[in-house]
A and B are shown apart, each in its own frame.
Chain A
Amino acid sequence: MTSAYDAAPLIPRDRAAHPVAHDVEYKSSVSRSPTMPLLSLDSTPTEETGPKFGHGLIGALDNNLILNWSKGAASAIGERILVHGRVLDETGRPVPNSLIEIWQANAGGRYRHLKDTYLAPLDPNFGGCGRTLTDSEGRYEFMTVRPGAYPWPNRENDWRPMHIHFSLFGHAFGQRLITQMYFEGDPLIERCPIVATIKDRGQIDRLVAPLDIAASKPLDHLAYKFDIVLRGRHQTHFENRPEGM
């Protein structure tokens, strides 16, 4: 086991890789973004450690959103897809045994949430959340249905592209990340003000999962590949230094 005192510090977060906090086109961000500069500091044991989740947490259907709401009794309606990929850190190392949670709208673009009142109906066989642990090489997979696009109150006619929300823990609280996966070829990506809070075109592309026909299963499901990179730690020479060096 590693002690916090010899765990390597995290690489400072590259803020330019992320969306801006304040963007007038995404109206909710205007009153929900700090105006003072963030306080930048090297990571401490508080950020270098984090919650650990074991295999005992994960139920057999937790990563199958087609079946987990009905407990296997009936399939959710929609286009059947496999979403899979790898979680790596910035140094290229896999992030094994780490928790991923996902949530999404159903195939009609409706969330099962007290606050969602969109016209599209709920699917009695779709809940909309799932979770899994990455394997020893950082790989993960989910079976789900492709979520629908839906309108939302922002500008006069804004629609969210089809997307799946991802929550990742890594191994350190400072690696925590929440993001969204989009689907290759969706024309709404270019029109979405939430996507456009990311100002680096190349970084937007990182969120667009390509169709992965090789991982599809004939007569069963298509597949999309979504690789994710979390913050990394400084290389090992830090770990071997005596304390205080």
Chain B
Amino acid sequence: MAQPAKTLRETPSQTAGPYVHIGCVPSYAGLDGIYPGDLGQYPISQGARGELIEIVGSVFDGAGCPMHDVLLESWQADAAGIFPGLPSADPAVSGFGRFAVSLDSSEFKLKTVKPGRVAMRDRRVQAPHIALWIMARGINLALATRLYFPDEDNRGDPLLSRIEQPARAETLIAQPVQKGRYRFDIRIQGPDETVFLDI
């Protein structure tokens, strides 16, 4: 037997379950009044620099049905490509969004500013993107993915260029609806299965 490795093991995940809203977006579950408001309701505040955008979409299960109980989180840089909390970041961008799909339409909506290009440690540059984290009943470890924009130069993005089948990279690029408005559908299985990340 060798000595044990010096690192601890990560605590295992468990599904967020159908009642994730109680803990994460209590107003949505009907628990108004415990907190002043749901966390992540607004990833930006008044005066955020950059282009205001709106992203609408649905999450589809393997049977092609839109999921009604899914909760998503987003994390992004400001319009200059600087993450909140870092020096010179836009103070009006918290960067963190949380949004459940609506019970009637099965669609989520994210209103934010378009993020800028982000430099990496090795000076390569990532195309503008929003990180997404998807929780629901039946998802044992939340699914990570990214949304990229159809009207940006995505060539050379270190993540997109690592996708083995170029057609699959398209699953990470939002569809244009009109100026500043995009659609981003997430498919957990099927021929257009979204690329999910281990990152």
A binds B: yes
**A39-B34 in contact (CB<8A):** no
Residue in A closest to B62 when the chains form the complex, CB atoms: A31
Chain A 8-46 per-residue mask, 1 if CB under 8 angstroms from chain B, else 0: 010111110111110100111111111110111111111
Q: Which of B6-14, B46-54, B174-182 contacts A (4 or more CB under 8 A)?
A: B6-14
**B140-A165 in contact (CB<8A):** no
**B10-A17 in contact (CB<8A):** yes
The smallest C-beta distance from B12 to any residue of chain A, in angstroms, reads: 5
Q: How far is the CA of A41 from the CA of B118 in the complex (A)?
A: 16
The smallest C-beta distance from B27 to any residue of chain A, in angstroms, reads: 11
Interface of B is mostly: loop
**A112-B197 in contact (CB<8A):** no
Decide yes or no whether B188 CB sits under 8 A from chain A.
yes
Within 8 A of A (CB), among B94-146: 94-96, 118-123, 126, 129, 131, 133, 135-143, 146
The smallest C-beta distance from A121 to any residue of chain B, in angstroms, reads: 16
Q: In the complex, what residues of B have CB within 8 A of residue A36's CB?
A: 168, 193, 195-196
Decide yes or no whether B92 CB sits under 8 A from chain A.
no
The residue that B12 contacts in the complex, of A12, A19, A59, A167, with Cβ under 8 A, is A19
The residue that B83 contacts in the complex, of A49, A88, A127, with Cβ under 8 A, is A49
Q: How far is the CA of A103 from the CA of B77 in the complex (A)?
A: 29
**B95-A45 in contact (CB<8A):** no
Chain A residues with a Cβ closer than 8 Å to the other chain, count? 92
The residue that A31 contacts in the complex, of B20, B22, B30, B188, with Cβ under 8 A, is B188
**A165-B11 in contact (CB<8A):** no
The residue that A177 contacts in the complex, of B6, B11, B62, B118, with Cβ under 8 A, is B11
The smallest C-beta distance from A52 to any residue of chain B, in angstroms, reads: 5
Q: In the complex, what residues of A have CB within 8 A of residue B8's CB?
A: 88-92, 229, 232
A sample of 5 more A-B contacts (CB under 8 A), given A47-B199, A90-B7, is A33-B138, A36-B168, A51-B94, A194-B14, A200-B12
Within 8 A of A (CB), among B24-53: 24, 26, 29-31, 34-35, 39-40
